[in-house]
Amino acid sequence: MTNTIKTALLLGLLSAVLMFLGEAFGGGQGLVFGFFFAVVMNFGSYWFSDKIVLRMYRAQEVGPGHRLYEIVAALSQRAGLPMPKVYIIPDPSPNAFATGRNPQHAAVAATEGILRLLSEDELAGVIAHELAHVKHRDILISSIAATLAAAIMMIAHFARFAAFFGGGRNDDREGSNPIALFATVLLAPIAAALIQAAISRSREFAADAGGAAIVGRPEPLVSALQKLERGSKQIPMDANPATAHMFIVKPFSASGLLGLFSTHPPTEQRVRALLHQG
């Protein structure tokens, strides 16, 4: 299945969730509102999802002369990719992600924490992983999923307040429908998490392999993943759960229900796969 078809399916599925939310919350009028909101979100997600996510993390663009920029430039040339924009995220937690709608409009972002934690070779392994996502054209689907999942979670959050104050669907025969509203509150974040997990986990293995191929050996990425696993637990990131699948390692420790919908394969599995490849 091509990424274009997957993108269309993702937009359609998340649009259906938005319409379900609208119908459960406001009946026929809510369904119409959900439909128009889905149209606006789809348009905005396709064209502006990268900018939305970068702004969410207060990312600042850097240029030639910066350590990160020079690493990205060298690896992009080696991978045969257009030079992406390069951003620094002012956060002490070590992590990185790529975003954009295609290789010609891509961006790579890394936290201040990862620049402090990793050696030059290890950082190159991480950046090569992110460039592999760009090369495989994963970034559009990933960015759209983040934007729409964030919207679903936001609406579910509003629904929680409506349920608390006795709101919900209302018509002449049925009156309020708290069951539908509570189902909405429960199902919306689960649906978003399931979608993220479905689009992300297998792609991490492919990006790991692609990143190792760009660098020429797997050891730098192996070492980086092991350091990032420890570092992200010591300094968890205050990340929006809707964007967790975009990062090279899980930006926070999920427990309970969130742990069932992990957006990343276990780091030890990724390391084994890389070493086996090497």
Per domain, the residue ranges of the chain are 3-277
Tell me the range of 36-40, 62-66, 194-198, 200-204 where mean pLDDT is highest. 62-66
pTM metric for this prediction:
0.80
DSSP-derived secondary structure for 160-177: HHHHHTT-S---TTT---
User: 89: phi > 0 → left, psi -120 to 50 → alpha, else beta; which?
Assistant: beta
Query: Looking at residue 181, what is its pLDDT?
Result: 64
Instruction: Let me know if 106 is exposed, middle or buried by CB neighbors in 10 A (0-12, 13-18, 19+).
Output: buried
Closest CA to 151 of 58, 37, 252, 47: 37
pLDDT mean across residues, the chain: 82
Considering the candidates 122, 130, 204, 229, report the single residue annotated as catalytic: 130
Tell me the per-residue pLDDT of 153-192, one tens digit each, with 9 for 90 and over.
777 667 666 666 655 544 444 444 565 666 666 666 666 6
Provide the residue count of the chain: 278
Closest CA to 14 of 25, 2, 6: 6
- Name which of 6-10, 73-77, 111-115 the model is least confident about: 6-10
Range 119-146 average pLDDT: 91
Query: Looking at residue 174, what is its pLDDT?
Result: 46
pLDDT of residue 79 exceeding 50: yes
How far separated are the first and last CA of the chain, in Å rounded? 28
* Catalytic status, residue 130: yes
Give phi and psi for 144, each to the nearest 5.
-65, -45
Query: Looking at residue 193, what is its pLDDT?
Result: 65
